[in-house]
Amino acid sequence: MPPYPSLTHALVAALVDLTWFVEDADDERMDQDEALKALEGVAAVVDRMTEGQRDGFLDLLAAMTAAETDPRRRAFLEDFPEDFGVVD
């Protein structure tokens, strides 16, 4: 069985991993202005999703959150929908 049941699930996981890395990066690892631009880019993509796409995105985030065992990453996943504009 593949690690992701769909391409959408794989892409959501990749997006979350990227934002987790960028948000967690300090000044020595990444220029903070560039990090902010990257995170704003993610928020802009999410903003252009249709309602159905957002619903699917939220379902996948909920499944990822339920499966997460790392408390810091779980908290990040729980906050992701609001932090990146998936929900108001």
Give the pLDDT score at 2: 59
Q: Which two tokens stand for residue 70?
A: 């790392």
Give the pLDDT score at 75: 96
pLDDT at 14 over 80: yes
**DSSP structure string for 13-41:** HHHHHHHHHHHH--TTTS-HHHHHHHHHH
Give residue limits of the domains in the chain. 7-83
pLDDT at 1 over 50: no
**Residue range 17-74, pLDDT digits in tens:** 999 999 888 888 888 899 889 889 988 998 999 999 999 999 999 999 999 999 999 9
Angstrom distance (rounded) from CA 73 to CA 16 = 10
Give the pLDDT score at 51: 93
